[in-house]
Structure 1
Amino acid sequence: MGQFASSERGHEGGPKSVLITGCSDGGLGAALATAFHNAGLHVYATARDVSKMKNLAASGIDTLELDVTSPSSIASCASKLPSLDILVNNAAVMLTMTAADVSVEEAKKLFDTNLWGTVRMCQAFLPLLIKSKGMIVNHTSIASVLPVPGGAAYAASKSALAMYSAILRMEVESFEVQVVDLKTGTVGPTNLINNNYTRTVTRADHSILPAGSCYQPAKDLLEPILRQDNFKGSGMRPAEWARAVTGDLLNNTRPPPLIFRGHYVILAKLAAWLPFGAMDGIVKKTTKFDQVDSVLRQLG
C-alpha cells in the first residue's frame, strides 16, 4: 500500500480519497495523481478532456471529466463521489506578457480558471470535506510572492488565490478542515509552460509583442523571456516534485499551511521576508530582464 499506509485510511474505513484537477498526461496534476496512487490512496484524476489522461487510466486511476470553469461540470463530478478526504486544486493556465501589453480579455479567462475555478471547486466539495474532516490543497506558485517580469496576469491570479486560501483556512478551521497553500517553483518540463508557449507564439513571424508596444526597441531580448526559453526543460523533475509534495501532505498528522517545493523557492522565501523590492535586481538578472532594462534606459 505504500509508505504512508498508517495514514491513508479514510473516515469511512476505506482508503483515503483524493480528487485532483488538471491531470492531463504530462502535467503536474498527472504526476501528483501517480504519487498519491502509489501511496495507496483512491485517486480521482480529472481534466476537461478524459482522453488526455490515458496514461493515468492505464495505471488503474479513476479518471473523470471536469471543467473547473463550468458550474454544471463541477456539480456533475461532485455527484459521482460518495466521499472525499483531499481536494487538490491544481488546474491552471499560464499567460506571459508585459503588464503594459497584456490582453485584459485573456487575463479574465486566466482568472476564471486559476482563481474562480478553485473557488467553485472549494464551494462544491466543502460539504464532503467537512464530513471527512479533510484537506484542501490550493496550488498557487512562487509567483504569488516573487514578482517576475512578464508574469503580471499569472502572478496576480496566484496572489489572489493565495490570499483566498489564507482566509478560507481560518474560516473552515471550525469544521476541522485543513487548507494548504502549495507554492511551486520551477518544475519541468510540464504542460503549463509548453501550452503557454503555444498560446503566446501565435503570429506567423513568431513574434509576441504587439506592434505598438513600448518595449519594441528591446523586442529581441524581451521575447525569449516571454517565451520562457530559459526555463524550458529546467527545474525539479515532475515525479520528484510530486513525491515530495505527497510526502509533505501525508507524512504529517497536520501538514503545514504553507508548502514550498521546486527550484527557485529560496528566492520566493527571501522575497517574502526581505524589504519590498529587495529581490528586484536578482530577479532581473536571473530572467535576463536586466538586459532589456539596459537597452530601454539607453534609449531614454
Structure 2
Amino acid sequence: MTGPLPGQKTVLITGCTPGGIGHALCLEFHKQGVHVIATARNPAVLAEMADMGMSTLALDVTNAESIKTCHEEVAQITGGKLDILVNNAGRTHTHPATDIDLDDVRETFETNVFGVMAMCKAFADQLIAARGLIINIASLAAITPYVFGSVYCATKGAVVSYSRTLRLELKPFGVRVMTTMTGTVRSQIASKTHRTLPENSLYMRVKEFFERRLTFSQNNATVGTEEYARKLVRNALKGEAPLILRSWFGRADYFWAGGWARLVWAGTFFGDWLLDLVMYRMFKMNVLERVLAQEEAQKKLN
C-alpha cells in the first residue's frame, strides 16, 4: 500500500463506493495532489482507486473494532497525522413519521450520527497532531421540513448541532470543523431498494406523491457529484481567514452547495414559515388536505 510523499497532505474519506459523493471527493482530492485514504465496507470496490495510487481500507463506521483497526492502519500510512477527515458515509431514510420502524431508524442513526461521532473521537489524536480539518457531510434536510424524511432530517440536524459544538471544543487544539449543507446531488440513491407504505398508512391516499418523493433528490435541480466535489475540495484546501471573512475568503464553517442550496440559504432569513409553505405545497400536502376534507364531507352526507 502506497503512502503520502514527504510534506503531502492526507485525507481519509468514509463511504467511498463508486457512484456517490465519497468517490467523487476521492478523485478530486487526488487530482489536487492530496494523498487519499479511501474507505468502504467492502474495499474490493475501491480497486480502481488503489490502482491510481490511493490507499484503500475496509471500514464500517457502525463497528467499533473496524474503526479501531482503520485508525491503526491510517497511523501506519501517515505516521500518526491526518490532515483531513471527511465523514461522508450515510444512509437515506424516506418514510412517513407515522409509518417508521424503530429498528430501521436506529440503523440510520448508527450510520448518520453515531458513526460520525465515533470517527471524530477515534481520529482526534491524528487530527490534532496535524492541526487538521474535519468535514461532516450534512444536508439541507437539517433545516428544511423535508416531507416523508423526518428520520433523515433528524439525523442531519443532529450532525449540524454536534459539529457546531465540536468546532468550539477542538478550536484550542488547532482543529477546524466544516459542516456541509448539501443540496440535491447525483448519487446511487435511485437504484437502491426503497421503503414502501404499509397498507394501513395514513398516506395511502397520496401514494403516488410518496413514490415520487423517493427519488426527489435525483430529479430536482440535481448537481453532478463531480461539480459538488470540485467546489468542496477547493474550499477545504483554502487557507485560514478571520472568522467574519471565512465564508468568502477561507475555509467555511458551513459549506453550501448542491441543488436548492442557495434558495434554502436565502429562505432561512425569512423564518420557518416560508420553507414550511414551500415544502407543504411542493410535496402535495395541500392535496392530501383537500382529500381529507372531501372524505369528511362525504361522511356527513352519508
* C-alpha deviation, 1:299, in angstroms: 2.7
Partner of 1:88: 86
Partner of 2:162: 164
Amino acid at match of 2:25: L
Partner of 1:149: 147
Instruction: Give the SS at the match of 1:260.
Output: strand
Amino acid at match of 2:205: P
Partner of 1:37: 30
* C-alpha deviation, 1:104, in angstroms: 1.3
Instruction: Give the SS at the match of 1:96.
Output: coil
Amino acid at match of 2:225: P
Partners of 2:87 and 2:149 lie apart in 1 by 20
Instruction: Give the SS at the match of 2:86.
Output: strand
Percent identity, aligned pairs only, is 34
Q: Is the contact made by 2:222 and 2:259 (CA closer than 8 Å) also made in structure 1?
A: yes
Higher mean displacement: 105-114 or 46-55: 46-55
Q: Of the candidates 245, 264, 269, which is equivalent to residue 265 of structure 2?
A: 269
Partners of 2:61 and 2:283 lie apart in 1 by 31
C-alpha spacing 1:73/1:160, structure 2 compared with 1 (3 Å): same
Amino acid at match of 1:213: S
C-alpha spacing 1:244/1:230, structure 2 compared with 1 (3 Å): closer
Q: Is the contact made by 1:65 and 1:77 (CA closer than 8 Å) also made in structure 2?
A: yes
* C-alpha deviation, 1:266, in angstroms: 2.3
Q: Is the contact made by 1:221 and 1:292 (CA closer than 8 Å) also made in structure 2?
A: no
Partner of 1:6: none
Q: Is the contact made by 2:11 and 2:82 (CA closer than 8 Å) also made in structure 1?
A: yes
C-alpha spacing 1:99/1:61, structure 2 compared with 1 (3 Å): same
Partner of 1:187: 185
Residue 246, structure 1, aligned to residue 233, structure 2? yes
Amino acid at match of 1:252: G
* C-alpha deviation, 1:279, in angstroms: 1.6
Partner of 1:296: 292
Residue 256, structure 1, aligned to residue 249, structure 2? no
Higher mean displacement: 173-182 or 48-57: 48-57
Amino acid at match of 2:171: E
Partners of 1:265 and 1:229 lie apart in 2 by 15
Partners of 2:265 and 2:154 lie apart in 1 by 18
Partners of 2:182 and 2:291 lie apart in 1 by 32
Instruction: Give the SS at the match of 2:136.
Output: strand
The RMSD of aligned alpha carbons is 1.9
Partners of 1:181 and 1:194 lie apart in 2 by 27
Amino acid at match of 2:260: Y
Q: Of the candidates 8, 17, 25, which is equivalent to residue 10 of structure 2?
A: 17
C-alpha spacing 1:199/1:230, structure 2 compared with 1 (3 Å): closer
Aligned length: 279
Partner of 2:300: none
Instruction: Give the SS at the match of 2:272.
Output: coil
* C-alpha deviation, 1:165, in angstroms: 0.2
Amino acid at match of 2:126: L
Gaps of 5+ in 1: 1-9, 201-207
Partner of 2:55: 62
Equivalent residue runs for 1:216-235 within 5 Å: 216-225=204-213, 227-228=214-215, 231-232=218-219, 235=222
Kindly provide the CA deviation profile for residues 269-298 of structure 1, in whole angstroms up to 9, marking residues without a partner as x: 134322223222222333444433433343
- TM-score, normalising length: structure 1: 0.87
Residue 285, structure 1, aligned to residue 281, structure 2? yes
Partners of 1:76 and 1:230 lie apart in 2 by 34
Gaps of 5+ in 2: 241-249, 297-302
Amino acid at match of 1:172: L
Structure having the higher Rg: 2
* C-alpha deviation, 1:80, in angstroms: 1.1
- TM-score, normalising length: structure 2: 0.87
Q: Is the contact made by 2:184 and 2:220 (CA closer than 8 Å) also made in structure 1?
A: no
Partner of 1:4: none
Partners of 1:283 and 1:270 lie apart in 2 by 15
Amino acid at match of 1:44: I
Partners of 2:217 and 2:73 lie apart in 1 by 42
* C-alpha deviation, 1:212, in angstroms: 1.2
Partners of 1:224 and 1:19 lie apart in 2 by 35
